[in-house]
Amino acid sequence: MTVLLTKEEKAQIILSHKKSLTYSRYNMEIDLLQENAKATPDTSVLSTLNERMEDIDEQLSALDAELTAVNALEE
C-alpha cells in the first residue's frame, strides 16, 4: 500500500526541519557569543562554530528550494 503525502503535509515537514535548524543555528550564535566573551577565545571553537553555522545556512537554502518546489505542485 502506497501512502502519498499531501502538498500541505510535505510543506509542514519541511517547515519543521527549518525550525529545528533555526533553533540549532541560534544556539550556535549564543555559543559564539559566549566564546568571544572569554578573555582568550579558543580560535578552533570559533572556527568550528562558524563552519557549522555555514552548513546550517546551506541546509536552510536547500530546504527553501524544496519548499518552493512543493508549493508549486498541483494537487
| Pairs from 69-72 (Cβ < 8 Å, separation ≥ 24) | 70/7, 70/10, 70/11, 70/14, 71/7, 71/11
> What is the pTM for the complete model shown?
0.90
The pLDDT tens digits of the residues spanning 6-24 come to 999 999 999 999 999 999 9
The pLDDT tens digits of the residues spanning 16-46 come to 999 999 999 999 999 999 999 999 999 999 9
How does the average pLDDT of the chain come out, rounded? Answer: 96
